[in-house]
Amino acid sequence: MSPANITRRELLKTTALGTTIGVVATTTSVASAAEPLKGRLKQSVCKWCYKDISLEDLCKAAVEIGLKSIDLLNVEELPTVKQHGLICAMVNGPGPIRDGWNETKRHDELVKKSEEILPVIAEYGYPNMIVFSGDRREMSDKEGIKNCAKGLKRITPLAEKLGVTICMELLNSKRDHKDYMCDHTAWGVALANEVGSPRFKLLYDIYHMQIMEGDVIATIRENKDYIAHYHTGGVPGRHEIDETQELQYKTICQAIVDTGFEGYLAQEFIPARDPLTSLSQAARICDV
């Protein structure tokens, strides 16, 4: 077995005993720093990036690291995070990424599913539900904003009543999500203004927006009132957010905190090394 799969805690233990390293790291034994996280920026982690780790074990690891949430879960998974004293800061909403609110033919189905999901999120007391614009399919920006707003206005009154924020994610259409419509902050802000509800905001994915437009810190500062949630990811490659990539996440997170942000930032990178060691490291980088 590879030493990369052994936690620092186990390494120290086996070395002290003079034994040969041969202990497989478990998902509930994470190398944690002695000092707890300061927690000025509440942190979460996206489950889909840890497909080989069960939700139960990821919850245990998150608690040990000091995270407060697991992102992008379906409503039937919410009892698990609650059992571990965590929340789901961004619950999966209706519909896939490609088939979203910019096509009016999908509105009835998306509204129906939203009306089923939103009350469950509210019952748990969790803050957000994710939605997607859908692909352009040669649609103009103006028409896409008009169509999205028309559909979203059918569910924002319920969201307002329940106290749940609907968040449309900004994704890159250059590398990962070809043809996705909500691919620039300005488009998302224009949509938010068209919807005109305090319960509709943006999920600003730092990884995606670095690829599409850069200028991350200035964009965050200028649009802080439209952003309810953040996701991370190393550029290029969407791996660890350490010195192997081009963004300085500690500086970015300090800028986020300085805006007065009170929501959550979720780690959404795909680990290229030991996953939980990388997750713990990322939490420390963002703990400003």
Give the pTM: 0.89
Q: Flag whether 137 is in a domain.
A: yes
> Helix 249-258 and helix 275-286: axis angle, to 10°?
50
Q: Flag whether 57 is in a domain.
A: yes
Nearest CA-CA partner of 179 in 237, 148, 134, 132: 134
pLDDT tens sequence across 102-143: 999 999 999 999 999 999 999 999 999 999 999 999 999 999
Q: Which two tokens stand for residue 253?
A: 């997170």
Name beta bridge partners: 200.
166
pLDDT band at 35 (very low <50, low <70, confident <90, very high): confident
Q: Which two tokens stand for residue 231?
A: 């996701």
Asked if pLDDT for residue 195 goes beyond 60, the answer is yes
The better pLDDT of the pair 262, 2 is held by 262
Which CATH number fits the domain that encloses residue 215? 3.20.20.150
Q: Which uninterrupted H or E stretch holds 110?
A: helix 107-124
What's the whole-number mean pLDDT along residues 53-58? 98
Q: Flag whether 259 is in a domain.
A: yes
Cα separation, 20 vs 284, in Å, equals: 30
What's the whole-number mean pLDDT along residues 269-285? 98
Q: Flag whether 123 is in a domain.
A: yes
Asked if pLDDT for residue 286 goes beyond 90, the answer is yes
pLDDT band at 269 (very low <50, low <70, confident <90, very high): very high
pLDDT in the model for residue 20: 28
Q: Flag whether 231 is in a domain.
A: yes
pLDDT band at 34 (very low <50, low <70, confident <90, very high): very low
pLDDT in the model for residue 285: 98
Q: Flag whether 247 is in a domain.
A: yes
pLDDT in the model for residue 33: 46
Structural domain containing residue 89: 39-286
Q: Flag whether 67 is in a domain.
A: yes
Q: Which uninterrupted H or E stretch holds 57?
A: helix 55-65
CB 231, CB 266: distance < 8 Å: yes
What's the whole-number mean pLDDT along residues 236-241? 98
pLDDT in the model for residue 4: 37
Asked if pLDDT for residue 64 goes beyond 90, the answer is yes
Q: Flag whether 61 is in a domain.
A: yes
What's the whole-number mean pLDDT along residues 77-99? 98
pLDDT in the model for residue 30: 53
Q: Which uninterrupted H or E stretch holds 254?
A: helix 249-258
Q: Which two tokens stand for residue 254?
A: 């300090």
The better pLDDT of the pair 15, 240 is held by 240
Asked if pLDDT for residue 198 goes beyond 60, the answer is yes
Cα separation, 127 vs 89, in Å, equals: 6
How many domains would you assign to the chain?
1
What's the whole-number mean pLDDT along residues 177-192? 98
Name beta bridge partners: 128.
165
pLDDT tens sequence across 202-235: 999 999 999 999 999 999 999 999 999 999 999 9
Nearest CA-CA partner of 50 in 278, 286, 241, 205: 278
